[in-house]
Homo-oligomer: A and B are copies of this chain.
Amino acid sequence: MFEKIETKGITTKKTNLGEWYSEVLTKSEFIDYSDVSGCYILRPAANFVWETIKEATDKEFKKLGIQDVYFPLFIPEKYLKKEEENFEHFKTEVAWVTHGGNSKLDERLAVRPTSETIMYVSYSKWIRSWRDLPLRYNQWNNVVRWEFKHPMPFIRGREFLWNEGHDAFATEEEASAERDNVLGIYQKILKDYLALPYIAGRKSEEEKFAGAVASYSLEMLMPDRFAIQGPAFHYDGTNFAKSFDIKFLDKDEQTKYVYQNTYAISTRVIGIMVANHSDEKGLVIPPKLALIQIVIVPIMGKDDEIVLKKAKELKEKLSNYYRVKLDDRKGYTPGYKFNEWELKGVPIRIEIGPKDIKNNSVVVVRRDNIKKYNIIIDNLSDTIKELINEIHDNLYKKAEQFLNEHITVVLNYDEFKKVLADKLGFIHAPWCGDAKCENSIKEETGAKITNIPFDQSKLNGKCIYCGKDAKYMANFAKSY
């Protein structure tokens, strides 16, 4: 029996990130690969994570007054061409539909890489007066970007799921105010659901979204200490409004362009979550996002029936509050089951055997640190409640500690290069704000400015490249 576990379990170390990550995702039956490179199958546990993130985020959006819509998957090529900068960026990674059945299409259609262009054609029709503003629409959908870089599930794929919010306001002030609202929601979701810490900031001019006036992002770390961009918010000013002719008659009888934002959280965050929290036993999922939160494993002995009966009672009771699975499969040892549910990342395991029943207790095991507790059954509900919170907090704290240990403040270029060679992670370094320095650093070291943190309290020193006065402490990193 135990050989079977060995082959089922994770065979690589987390330091070998690519292989470990792939094993964790597939052996836990969280995802599977498909025959189309860069397209992945979300099995029930993974789909549940996304559904939960989606519901929690959408609930917050709705509180702000953002409404959900659905626009078509296919975008005529002529729409894409309307905003030049955006088109230049996306044209090399668009999947093109050229045929319907046996007929060649007159105009090829893009499978949406993002929906600005198709949505703004409609916005231009729908928005006439100040009364039509603000217009705050969002959609939850699939998008396709035909990337040729090495794909990695959730992190870099050709199809992914996301929200794309696209709003229009009468004034710059109102549009800008939306930034903190939306980034606030994303921050809450990352922290409270995914147990992930981040660095919030503004993108540099070089790194901002094609077509945006300013981009903002939440940047995180992968276990290999490379940075990865999470949810983002883009302030587009009147750029798209001018390309798509989105104008309104204001109260003062003047015709004006609208001010716009776009924002997104994608399934990528699931990959960041899995990579950060999981270990060499397999998947680790924060309790709020776990399809199964508690697994009960009855330890059978002579008194099978009594144990099973008690296990079922427990399951019934706990199911009022939690998502519970009773693993009453026969023909598998408890050890086999323990390994399997650890591999699958179930946050809490309850073991119950004849001895436990005599003592009116159970053994509770946490997935995050494999700590064991003997708990009197009467106290079980309370203990579970506490443990769920503790597990979440512990995962967050561990990830936060890892992040903090990998934020290095440097004041000169030699130190900068040394950290990149040894330690990696985020490097906060003084920067003059000039794209020339940014580009030279990127060329010479491979590190880019991931963002310019909102928190500039540690601004200090001279630009590490040119030696002029620093405008910002920029957040450099080698990144995905």
Contact = CB atoms under 8 A, between A and B. Distances in A.
Interface in A62-106: 67-76, 79, 91-103
A35 B142 contact: no
Interface string A39-69: 1111110111011000000000000000111
A41 B68 contact: no
Nearest to A39: B72
A291 to B, nearest CB: 8
Contact of A67 (B40, B44, B50): B44
A121 interface: yes
Given A34-B71, A71-B34, A101 B92 contact: yes
Contacts of A68: 44, 47-48, 51
Nearest to A32: B122
A249 to B, nearest CB: 13
A97 B96 contact: yes
Interface string A1-40: 0000000000000000000000000000000101110011
Nearest to A111: B97
B79 A50 contact: no
A42 B118 CA distance: 13
Contact of A41 (B32, B44, B122): B122
A69 B47 contact: yes
Nearest to A108: B99
A97 B44 CA distance: 28
Interface in A224-268: none
Interface string A99-131: 111110000110100000010011001100001
A252 to B, nearest CB: 15
- Interface range on chain A (Cβ under 8 Å from partner): 35 or more
Contacts of A71: 34, 41-42
B159 A74 contact: yes
A96 B99 contact: yes
Contacts of A318: none
B94 A69 contact: no
A146 B101 contact: yes
Nearest to A139: B47
Nearest to A101: B92
A329 interface: yes
A137 interface: yes
A424 interface: no
A375 B153 CA distance: 59
A34 B112 CA distance: 14
A190 to B, nearest CB: 21
A329 B72 contact: no
A4 to B, nearest CB: 13
A2 to B, nearest CB: 19
Contacts of A70: 41-42, 46-47, 50, 161
A121 B33 CA distance: 11
A394 B350 CA distance: 52
Interface string A128-161: 0001000001010110101010000000001101
A72 B161 contact: no
B44 A137 contact: yes
A39 B74 contact: yes
Given A34-B118, A93-B100, 14 more contacts: A35-B121, A39-B73, A42-B70, A44-B68, A47-B69, A51-B68, A70-B161, A97-B111, A98-B99, A101-B146, A101-B148, A103-B148, A111-B111, A142-B142
22 contacts: A34-B72, A35-B76, A35-B79, A36-B109, A39-B74, A41-B71, A41-B72, A41-B122, A42-B70, A44-B68, A44-B69, A47-B70, A72-B159, A73-B111, A73-B144, A74-B158, A92-B102, A95-B97, A95-B100, A95-B109, A96-B98, A100-B146
